[in-house]
Amino acid sequence: MKHVFAALFALAAALYIVAVRTLDPPPPEGIERIRWATDANPTRDRQTGLFAELYRGLEAVVDPGLGGDQTKLIVQCATGTGPDVIDVYDQDAMASQVSAGILMDLTPYAEQYGFSVENTYPALRDALMVDGRQYRFPCNVWANCVVYNKAVFDDHGVPYPRDDWTWTEWIEVCRQLLQSPSRAGEKHFAFANWNNIWWFGELYINKGGRYFSEDGLTCLLDSEKALWAIQFYYDAIYKHEVVPSAAQLASLSAQGGWGSGWLSIFSNGKVGMIIIGRWYLCQVEYFPQMKGKLGAVRLPHVEGREPTGLCDTRAAGINAMSPHKDAALKFLQYLASPEYSKLIVEDGDSMPPNPSVAASGKMLVNRAEPDPAFHQPFVDAMEDAQPADLSPFIDSLVVRRWLGEALDRVENQVEAPDTAFRNLTTEINRTIRVNLERQPHLQRLYEERTGRPYSEDWWREYQKP
């Protein structure tokens, strides 16, 4: 028996040696390395390369393993093994991570290092801050436009969409694409609803809606504007039948993440239009057949209203427990530099953080898309865009998850649109009440925002039962 144990021990020791030898090598002498949790976008290599050039003695290594997975990130940071710089993909995630104590407060350093909110788009101010404190700085900035495949439109003999169009006209364009025969005998989708939360958000914001009241105490997703948006969404799928249902889209999409199914579907010329940011251009390198075939226009708007839409940012924050805080602050400084912004423009990785480098479509021309007319709508969209509003009284990621479920239920015809959203609003409002009841720091925030002392019956004035 002891021979068996000895053999097992020797095997374990051998495996340990192999494991140690396959670990990442330590950084060279004199180089401080930081870990940057971001997605596996191929442009990251150039971005980290430029950082190393500009900041001698520092090195940023991409960690794509987290892949935007909030759960993994929280667990890693809670156990002290988290990355140094964290890409926070939207303000919902930012609010959630701030409340989890993951992100470092950047406010004391922002001015000194030159990455304050004044150094980027004014529209993003609320998207970078929580309770007046800054927690991240943009890596790139997005506002959506409708990107269309000119070849699909030509194939069906449908005129290209134009700026200043309404959602009703958008339905008509979709219908024309679906009803006009394809000269090449192919089957195309008019529109790919690849992100239902975004599309709903664009409709709702354009209608003039808010997710929460100004004080954040009441969810407004049962308002007339919200019900209009969700009804339009539903009708586009089941009444006008111009948008594939979730089931149809799921059958086309094999997986998520960078380079996922829906990108391939559009890039393979199966879809006429898609709502997306300028960062789609990163794909063109891998789908050269799309070069010269892309067009972009502003999002449609509601009749009688000015065009507007959502904006947000993939922005970097710093892990509050990072042992390389100084290096991480320099990384954020690098993100605010014109050199980095120019690289973003060149790579087509959405809009750069520095607005002075993206003041017109001409300035955004790159090798993937040399036509300034493609880029101009994105510049215009940033001028009118606004981030979605949040409430500090409920976790934003929970709201987003529940919103996604409600949209799922509508898309799958499990619930009628108005029922789904009334139920959603009731649930959110109830959770706000419970959170206020149980968390004293939220009660203090209530008093700050309303100027009234907190009482258990506060909600009767604000929310329906």
Binding positions for another protein, rule: CB under 8 A: 70-71, 74-75, 78, 99-101, 246-248, 250-252, 254, 395, 397-398, 401, 405, 408-409, 411-416, 419, 427, 438-441, 465
Helical ranges in 55-180 per DSSP H: 70-78, 91-99, 107-113, 125-128, 150-156, 167-179
Measured distance CA(110)–CA(137) in Å, rounded = 9
Q: Measuring CA to CA, which residue among 377, 236, 199 is closest to residue 298?
A: 377
Closer Cβ to another protein, 366 or 431, answer by number: 431
Backbone angles phi, psi at 181, to 5 degrees: -70, 150
Q: Closest separation between CB of residue 398 and another protein, Å?
A: 6
Closer Cβ to another protein, 359 or 414, answer by number: 414
Joined tokens for residue 157: 């003999």
Joined tokens for residue 49: 């390369």
Q: Closest separation between CB of residue 162 and another protein, Å?
A: 33
Measured distance CA(37)–CA(26) in Å, rounded = 18
26 within 8 A of 17, measured Cβ to Cβ: no
* Length of the chain in terms of residues written: 465
Measured distance CA(128)–CA(369) in Å, rounded = 30
Closer Cβ to another protein, 132 or 440, answer by number: 440
Q: Closest separation between CB of residue 412 and another protein, Å?
A: 5
Measured distance CA(202)–CA(248) in Å, rounded = 22
Measured distance CA(354)–CA(202) in Å, rounded = 24
Name the β-bridge partners of 301.
166
Q: Closest separation between CB of residue 318 and another protein, Å?
A: 16
Closer Cβ to another protein, 305 or 464, answer by number: 464
Q: Closest separation between CB of residue 4 and another protein, Å?
A: 13
Q: Closest separation between CB of residue 409 and another protein, Å?
A: 4
Closer Cβ to another protein, 92 or 202, answer by number: 92
259 within 8 A of 42, measured Cβ to Cβ: no
Closer Cβ to another protein, 107 or 245, answer by number: 245
The residues, any chain, with a CB within 8 Å of residue 424's CB and separated by 6 or more, are: 219, 221, 222, 402, 403, 406
Cα 127 to the center of its chain, rounded Å: 11
Closer Cβ to another protein, 12 or 373, answer by number: 12
Amino acid identity, residue 206? N
Measured distance CA(425)–CA(391) in Å, rounded = 13
Q: Closest separation between CB of residue 246 and another protein, Å?
A: 6
Closer Cβ to another protein, 99 or 213, answer by number: 99
Q: Closest separation between CB of residue 288 and another protein, Å?
A: 25
Joined tokens for residue 400: 């987003």
Closer Cβ to another protein, 52 or 252, answer by number: 252
Q: Closest separation between CB of residue 416 and another protein, Å?
A: 7
Residue 245 CB neighbour total at 10 angstroms: 15
